[in-house]
Amino acid sequence: MGKLTAISVKAALATPGTYQDGDGLFLKVKPSGASSWYLRIQHDGKRRDIGIGSSKLITLAMARDKAREARIAVKVERRDILAERKDAAAAKVTFREAAIQYHAENEGGWKSKTYARQWLAALENYAFPKLGNEATGAITAADIITTLSPIWQDIPETARQVRNRICAVLDYAHAKGWRSSEAPSGNGSLKAGRGLPRQVKEQVHRKAMPYVEIPSFIQALQRKHSYGRLALELLILTGVRSQEARLAKWDEFDLELALWTVPADHMKRAKAHIVPLSHAAFSVLNRAAALRLAGSDFVFPGVNGAMSDMTLLKVLRDAGEPYHVHGFRSAFTDWAANEGFPDAVVEAALAHKTPDAVQAAYRRTTYLGTPENPGERVRLMEIWGRYCAGASRAAKVVPFLGVKMKT
């Protein structure tokens, strides 16, 4: 028989405090006037309080019924009621929703806007397709392994970053009560050599295509037009990184001066980079303009806005090539060295940081020159473009002033 009565409960609501009914059931009245029923139980040797509901909605009789059901579930059926409640709440919050909320709450404290954008973009590209609509509480180590397996060896560094970000979101979901447990440990089933295979130390998939093979490869690319093929061709001809090509927008291109200004937030060093466009690169833009997607600002649009990083790698794999997209920058460097171009000019073309601090302080030139007198980088990119196109390098390099693009 419980200690409380309907009349004593009504009286208790006027005075803050804890009122015991017996067998673990009690009513708690806060100074604010809010009041709720709780059941205190022992589970796995720990004392835990389970909320039963507000006294405004749950009567004393109802609270006793719910408490009885909870005791049976814990003591007889050996169930973890609190974990079940967290899982039920998690079923209402998808991984995508949790990731977006985590990102919104934390991006202000990250090192740069570029990093903040890349943080979420990696999940959009590699995690959301498989995990995005899954409840946070339902995601297991096996699900994460399935998500990471396609990229674990091809782009190992990115794959590890995606793994860590998935786990960060799941830990966040646990803290929010959307998940009953923390994320699987990176030292457990998600560690390389356990649930995931050991990554190859020698980056076989990142090797560069020999530059002598590039002209014939570009000819093969040109046999069929697609956004992926065009993006890869422009990447090769300009020496840019994958992200810079995939995120390119039409307003970044000065079509009269034939210059491409890659914005700082697309660059690895978060510093804007100007790329001279060769005749061969300009030809790629003409072909891309013919395929321009209405309503999209991207030169090479993807399914949901920007093109995925995997698209460029897929072009290579579909062509039966074992090389990596990033390797074309190495091929360009090898070719330029063989042609006798100064290292400083090549490094500037690749937007590399000058390793020597003194040189960095005094070397202010961009090697671009002027429209009337093109600099060494303009000459470098034009001759590289002619080489890739299989044309002669003998012709004089001239600026593009007045060139109009076909649309």
pTM given for the model: 0.52
Number of Cβ within a 10 Å radius of residue 29: 19
Instruction: Quote the mean pLDDT of the chain.
Output: 84
Q: Is the pLDDT of residue 273 over 70?
A: yes
The order of strands in the sheet holding 253-254 is 253-254, 259-262, 273-276
* Residue range 101-151, pLDDT digits in tens: 999 999 888 767 767 888 888 899 889 999 999 998 889 999 999 999 988
Distance CA 21, CA 19 (A): 7
Q: Is the pLDDT of residue 260 over 90?
A: yes
* Residue range 62-76, pLDDT digits in tens: 999 999 998 888 888
Q: Which pLDDT score, from 0 to 100, does residue 352 have?
A: 84
Distance CA 179, CA 377 (A): 54
* Residue range 177-205, pLDDT digits in tens: 888 888 886 556 687 667 788 877 544 44
Partner residues linked to 183 by β-bridges:
none
Place 361 in a pLDDT band, splitting at 50, 70 and 90. Answer: very low
* Fold observed for domain 206-388: hpI Integrase; Chain A (1.10.443)
Burial 188-204 (b: 16+ CB within 10 A, else e): eebeeeebbeeeeeebe
Region of poorest pLDDT, from 276-290, 356-370, 391-405: 391-405
Q: Which pLDDT score, from 0 to 100, does residue 192 have?
A: 64
* Residue range 37-59, pLDDT digits in tens: 999 988 777 888 888 889 889 99
Q: Which pLDDT score, from 0 to 100, does residue 403 have?
A: 41
Q: Is the pLDDT of residue 95 over 60?
A: yes
* Residue range 300-344, pLDDT digits in tens: 998 878 898 889 999 999 999 989 999 999 999 999 988 888 989
Q: Is the pLDDT of residue 83 over 80?
A: no
**For residues 397 and 374, is the Cβ–Cβ distance under 8 A?**
yes
* Residue range 276-290, pLDDT digits in tens: 999 999 999 999 999
Q: Is the pLDDT of residue 401 over 50?
A: no
Tell me the CATH architecture of domain 95-201: Orthogonal Bundle (1.10)
Q: Which pLDDT score, from 0 to 100, does residue 393 have?
A: 52
CATH 3.30.160.390 is right for the domain spanning 6-79: yes
For the chain, the structural domain boundaries read: 6-79, 95-201, 206-388
* Residue range 15-42, pLDDT digits in tens: 999 999 988 999 999 998 899 999 998 8
The answer to whether domain 6-79 and domain 206-388 are alike in fold is: no
